């Protein structure tokens, strides 16, 4: 992969395929990269099935957390879901914000948007909509969202700093986000970093945990809090597609960590412009 655009096109292609796969195939892999593990049913995603608003048709098993559970939404809020897929988090958010609220899902994969729109028509929700677009340039005006959520998506985006700038722009002053994502502690083996399928499967697109949190601080957010964290254990039968037995053992002994984190942060009430612009 030579540039950001090529990486984004790879993710678009992979997630167009994933939109046509069943949940079992997606959940038994690295964020849907392929049904490649017999060791476990589920590597990353958490169980949504007991959450109000859950509908199996919208759950592709692609997440790495439960951001809507942690998002502190309330009735009447406007909520935006980044990388909304088939609409799972949007429909759960809608059950919280109610008829007075509004939910917007953004996804840049046409097949996912089509799937989500079929679901919203089936459920008959008139305050949930799906927009095709790049989350680095959201098709949303500034200062519109009370809450932004996202589940295992920012790790797929090469320009994460650009996404946090867009989140800041789109949130209302006093608004906040709750985002589940994949981060690293230590360096992955080079063979994993440069494998296309692993990139589309979230892991080699991840950045260091401290770098991730620093990006949030640098973009002007306050009260940055890791709400949840869990280790992600990649099974040997996935690692063996890319590493030798000796390399797998060295990787496991290296104490390199792959984690799912759910991070909360607030846009300050006094915010009136882009961080660092000097206009306030």
**pLDDT tens digits, one per residue of 232-272:** 887 788 788 889 999 999 988 888 888 899 999 999 998 55
Q: Bigger pLDDT: 1 or 129?
A: 129
Which pLDDT score is estimated for 39?
Answer: 45
Mean pLDDT of the chain: 83
- CATH topology for the 4-266 domain: Rossmann fold (3.40.50)
Q: Where are the domains of the chain?
A: 4-266
pTM exceeding 0.75: yes
For residue 175, with 0-12 CB atoms within 10 Å meaning exposed, 13-18 middle and 19 or more buried, which class applies? buried
The DSSP call for residue 78 is E
**Helix spans in the chain (H):** 4-18, 23-27, 67-70, 88-97, 110-123, 160-170, 190-193, 196-200, 209-218, 236-239, 245-253
Q: CA 57, CA 35: separation in Å to the nearest integer? A: 19
Q: CA 85, CA 116: separation in Å to the nearest integer? A: 7
Asked whether the beta carbons of 230 and 62 are under 8 A apart, the reply is: no
* pLDDT tens, position by position, 18-52: 555 555 444 444 444 444 454 443 456 678 888 88
């Amino acid at each position: 992969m030579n540039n950001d655009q090529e990486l984004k096109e790879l993710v678009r292609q992979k997630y167009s395929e994933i939109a046509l796969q069943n949940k079992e195939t997606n959940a038994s892999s690295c964020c849907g990269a392929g049904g490649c593990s017999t060791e476990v049913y589920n590597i990353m995603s958490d169980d949504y099935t007991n959450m109000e608003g859950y509908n199996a048709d919208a759950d592709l098993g692609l997440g790495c957390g439960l951001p809507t559970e942690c998002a502190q939404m309330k009735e009447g809020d406007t909520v935006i879901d980044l990388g909304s897929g088939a609409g799972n988090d949007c429909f759960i958010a809608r059950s919280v914000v109610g008829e007075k609220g509004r939910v917007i899902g953004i996804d840049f994969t046409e097949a996912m948007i089509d799937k989500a729109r079929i679901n919203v028509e089936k459920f008959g929700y008139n305050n949930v909509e799906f927009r095709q677009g790049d989350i680095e340039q959201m098709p949303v005006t500034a200062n519109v969202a009370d809450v932004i959520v996202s589940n295992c998506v920012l790790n797929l985006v090469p320009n994460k700093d650009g996404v946090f700038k867009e989140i800041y722009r789109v949130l209302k002053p006093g608004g906040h986000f709750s985002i589940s994502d994949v981060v690293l502690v230590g360096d992955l083996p080079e063979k994993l970093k440069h494998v296309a399928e692993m990139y589309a499967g979230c892991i080699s697109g991840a950045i260091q945990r401290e770098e991730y949190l620093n990006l949030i601080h640098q973009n002007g957010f306050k009260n940055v809090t890791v709400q949840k964290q869990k280790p992600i254990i990649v099974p040997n039968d996935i690692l063996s597609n890319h590493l030798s037995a000796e390399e797998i053992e060295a990787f496991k002994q290296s104490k390199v960590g792959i984690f799912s984190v759910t991070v909360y942060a607030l846009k300050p009430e006094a915010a009136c412009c882009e961080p660092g612009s000097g206009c306030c």
